Amino acid sequence: KALEKSLKIFDQELLETFSLKAPMFEEELRELYKDAKKQATELFTKTCIGDDAVNYLEDLKSKFKQKFDQLKVENERAASTK
């Protein structure tokens, strides 16, 4: 549950801003990613309980990275069409 909520926050923060500002400089995209990741990670660490929290956090970070890599490709595509 904490994982799902954190991913939702991450997606909202990242995708809403990205959709408004794309294409972006890679530096801007990276800053946006870092901010969204920070907010989602903070939410996760506050709400996740149990022995598996560390494993879930690693899974969450992996999902963040996948989403970021996907957005980088979309950003490059948007930049090349403008």
Q: How confident is the model at residue 1 (pLDDT cuts 50, 70, 90)?
A: confident
pLDDT in tens, 30-82: 999 999 999 999 999 999 888 888 899 999 999 999 999 999 999 999 888 86
To the question of pTM greater than 0.75 for the whole model, the response is: yes
The answer to whether the beta carbons of residues 67 and 10 sit under 8 Å apart is yes
Short-list 56, 20, 17, CA closest to 34? 17
pLDDT tens sequence across 5-24: 999 999 999 999 998 988 99
pLDDT at 38: 96
Q: Report which residue type is found at 68.
A: F
